[in-house]
A and B are shown apart, each in its own frame.
Chain A
Amino acid sequence: MKNRELRNVMDSRKVFALPYIAWIAIFTAAPLILILLYAFTETGSGGVMVLTAENLARAFSSLYMTVFWRSVWMAFIATVICLLLGYPVAYMLSRMKPNRAAVISILFVLPMWMNFLLRTYAWRTLLDNAGIINQGLMALGFEPVQFLYTEGAIIFGLVYNFLPFMILPIYSVFQKMDISCIQAAQDLGANKWQTFWRVTLPLSKGGIVSGITMVFMPAMTTFVITRLLGGSHFMMYGDLIEMEFLLMSEWNFGSALAVVMLILTIVFMWLMRKYDKEGEGGALM
């Protein structure tokens, strides 16, 4: 009897989803609920939790929105640079012989095997005023350049860290792209530019959209790069949230900021998906 029940359960295969459901419940749903709980409450006198919208109102005040828009702007620049650099690379990769492409794409992924923090630290010593790059410049007779602690250094750090996330999705779209579409365009008399603009680009839109999502969102929420390469001069939204939690011990307000971030993420994802769907009609960017 029992055996049969077990078999029924096994048969339905739902049982295999259980670990996943538990995982989601513990590590995704529960923290989210906690964040929402913290965001909308305040610990009043005597340790009683009181419902309040004050945290959220404060999160939307101009002081904090400045940081928000600055983060959007920095992440936007980094994303654009990643796209401009990553797209041609992905295209070239897809046109290579499979063996070579595999080797080169591994080279792109290789740095990611190392911890991101370590790599960023490495850049610190490279870009330092007394670092290798500046020493080289001085040996060649140039004046040393202040690389570190500038806005440029942060953008550089963002592009460096997130570029693979732009290349890989676009590359995989190119790989799957039906070459006969391009050949057909060429046969029908389109020049190189027209072929690219009317066939290749629209067909790769899916990769571009997921690349942008994968670069923009983490760039926007990053918090170590600004500290290590930017010398904490320019605060980004991730720094703000981290600071509220760890430096200020303001869990309620920090959660409210996280909620604002979450709202942005949802809006952004929705926009991107909408774009992607419309794009399937084959219209131009």
Chain B
Amino acid sequence: MAFGLGVVKGMGITLKHFVDSYVIGFKAQPSASGDLPAPSAVFGGMPLTTGGMQTAQYPEEKLPVPERFRYLPFLVYDEEPDHERAQFDGIRCTACGICAKVCPPQCIWIVQGRGDDGKPRAVSSEFYIDASICMSCGFCAEYCPFDAIKMDHEYELSSYERHESWVYDLQELLHPVAYHAAIHPTDYARELAETHAKDQAKRQKEATRAAAAADSGEDAEAIKRQKAEARAKFLEDRARRKAAEAGGDGAGG
């Protein structure tokens, strides 16, 4: 190989990229306001097909993050809470504790709430996440059966103090469901579909039961009678069997 050819080839590639940076990439995008193009434009095309200048002027410009991007967990509350849970501000968390148990670094602390009568209720009255320990694994959101805890997209969290301000309490963690719907559109759609399906199933079940009851008021009575008879027979059988066993033991002893 001729001496110096490697250098020439190397400079060639530099030149190509230099030219590209003026022809394709961000500089060639129509956006002059400093905003980045829509996420679909970034993920759907540019970086894959082109070379060129790809520098985003962070923090003025921010690259969009995909929906599944996860940083820290947050808690979801419904703006229009269920009637029975209205007194707890529509917080979806039921303090079942799965997130606290599955959390690999054990950074979630939950206190189960109590109603006015002092009895434990399916709600968390205190909820802490130690963000300095959280490893952003997303297990809490993945295994929450109530879609109550989700992973946030917010990643600019620096603070001047590294103890108290890193322990997020319930008020800091709560976000409205609209926020969740905005950053996780696909996940929220799935949630709605599931709720809808559940509602449908429940309504259908009730309807069938009502229909069955209306259909055959007498039959229901008959079934009840049959059941009572069967139970009486069962109890009788058991008593007889027990007596026989006891007798057998006595004989053996």
Partners in one complex: no
Task: Enumerate chain A interface residues (CB-CB to B < 8 A).
Answer: none
